[in-house]
């Protein structure tokens, strides 16, 4: 008898749960470049951070998918547009992170960012977003301290360790050969 009294609540809970799942949107996909350079007499790389145009927080160059471009090509393009760098991009992602992007209407959307390493070979004097962002070459440890996204912080630490172990240089060389 008690079981029947709880049944309507169970059905309502199930309907509410199903509605939440139906209304939840999957995270939006973005692609980013973790721009790096090797400095003489240092085993660890330096990475390039840029500020976001809206809040001024430290980030890595990233953007939305582009029709006809593969993910690594989008990351490479964003690095050029936002930071004025050119180089060798890895075809395979080195990791992922998530964040909440604030939209102009005040809405926040979940974004999943696929990150590609980009070994910087050239820094251009003129590029599309010149003057709208600040840039800083820093250690991976400093980058992890400056960015807000927890998963990106971890990615910087992992990248530094892999670089010291020689893994990222091999990926960059392989990407250049393909």
Nearest-angstrom CA–CA distance, 144 and 147? 6
Q: Is the pLDDT of residue 130 over 80?
A: yes
Phi, psi of 101, deg, nearest 5: -90, 125
pLDDT digits (tens, 9 = 90+) for 40-88: 887 789 999 999 988 899 999 999 999 999 999 999 999 999 999 999 9
Least confident span in 64-73, 108-117, 158-167: 158-167
pTM assigned to the model: 0.79
Give the HSE-up count for residue 162: Cα atoms under 13 Å, Cβ half-sphere. Answer: 16
Q: Span 141-155, mean pLDDT?
A: 97
Q: Which residues, 6 or more positions from 76, have their beta carbon under 8 angstroms from its beta carbon?
A: 33, 87, 89, 116, 118
Distance of CA 154 to the CA centre of its chain: 12
**178 or 9, higher pLDDT:** 9
Nearest-angstrom CA–CA distance, 166 and 107? 42
Q: End-to-end CA distance of the chain, in Å? A: 70
């Amino acid at each position: 008898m008690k079981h029947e009294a709880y049944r309507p609540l169970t059905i309502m809970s199930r309907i509410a749960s199903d509605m939440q799942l139906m209304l939840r949107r999957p995270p939006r996909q973005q692609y980013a470049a973790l721009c790096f350079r090797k400095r003489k007499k240092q085993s660890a790389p330096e990475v390039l951070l840029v500020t976001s145009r809206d809040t001024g927080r430290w980030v890595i160059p990233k953007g939305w998918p582009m029709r006809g471009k593969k993910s690594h090509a989008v990351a490479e393009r964003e690095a050029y547009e936002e930071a004025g760098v050119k180089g060798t991009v890895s075809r395979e992602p080195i990791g992922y992170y998530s964040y909440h992007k604030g939209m102009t209407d005040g809405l926040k959307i979940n974004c999943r960012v696929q990150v590609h390493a980009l070994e910087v070979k050239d820094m251009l004097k003129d590029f599309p977003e010149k003057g709208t962002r600040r840039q800083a070459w820093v250690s991976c440890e400093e980058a992890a301290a400056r960015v807000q996204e927890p998963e990106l912080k971890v990615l910087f630490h992992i990248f530094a360790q892999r670089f010291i172990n020689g893994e990222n240089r091999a990926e960059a060389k392989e990407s250049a050969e393909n």
